[in-house]
Amino acid sequence: MTPGRFGDARRRRIGLLGGSFNPAHEGHRHVARRAMQALRLDEIWLMVSPGNPLKPVQGMAPLPERLASARRIADGRRIIATDIEARLGTRYTADTLAALRRRFRRARFAFVIGADNMVQLPRWKQWRAIARTVALGVLPRPGWTRRALAGRAAHVLAHHRRVPGGVLTESFAPHAAWCLVPAREHAASATAIRRAQAERSTGERRGP
């Protein structure tokens, strides 16, 4: 199933969990569930990136493989894996959001990120415009939560921080709101999974 079937989305509250999903893991599922509950989302899209502009191409599995991995943690009903960015021809979040707004005119979008990406946000293309126009839900992550809350983005956006239940339900025009989503920190990471896989295959090559 893809979000294409929601072409008629009517003021649906849609969370966008953009990511590389190289591969998808339990941390993503945890983030999706907690964000859905706290932000009162109707659905959340695991939006598999054709290529994060800030990540190296080397070591990045092909998109179909990453999409298949995201599908395995989705439920196809309210948690939906999608390659919609590849189909829209966008990879920068600012461009993706503009294209999604044109295509799903009545939907309300929230962008969901882990605390590590809140730290990195000031390096994204047009990050202030992104934060001004889309609600942001930030998930705690081991080693990153405090840094995110003390970082530049949180500082610049301090006046726009709200409680999670309101960020999408209320209107905060002319500037969107953001929140820290209450959730336990989940240690899963794609880097750790790739590292463990590499160690296993090195061990297998060496033999007993």
Ligand X SMILES: O=C(O)c1ccc[n+]([C@@H]2O[C@H](COP(=O)([O-])O)[C@@H](O)[C@H]2O)c1
Instruction: By CB under 6 A, name the binding residues for ligand X.
Output: 18-20, 47, 49, 52-55, 92-94, 117, 124-125
The DSSP output letter for 58 is T
- With CB under 5 to 8 Å by kind, the binding choice for 198 among ligand X, ligand ATP, none is none
137 lies in the binding site for ligand ATP (CB under 6 A): no
Given the rule CB under 6 A, which of 25-33, 85-93, 98-106, 170-178 is the region that contacts ligand ATP?
A: 25-33
For 121-127, the CB contacts below 8 A with 24+ separation are 121/153, 122/151, 122/152, 122/153, 122/156, 123/54, 124/54, 124/92, 124/93, 124/94, 125/53, 125/92, 125/93, 125/94, 125/95, 126/92, 126/94, 127/153
Angle between helices 63-73 and 26-38 (to 10 degrees): 60
19 lies in the binding site for ligand ATP (CB under 6 A): yes
- With CB under 5 to 8 Å by kind, the binding choice for 189 among ligand ATP, ligand X, none is ligand ATP
Q: How far is the CB of 54 from ligand X (least distance, A)?
A: 4
Residues lying near ligand ATP in the complex (CB under 6 A) are found at 17, 19-22, 27-28, 31, 113-114, 116-117, 139, 141, 186, 188-191
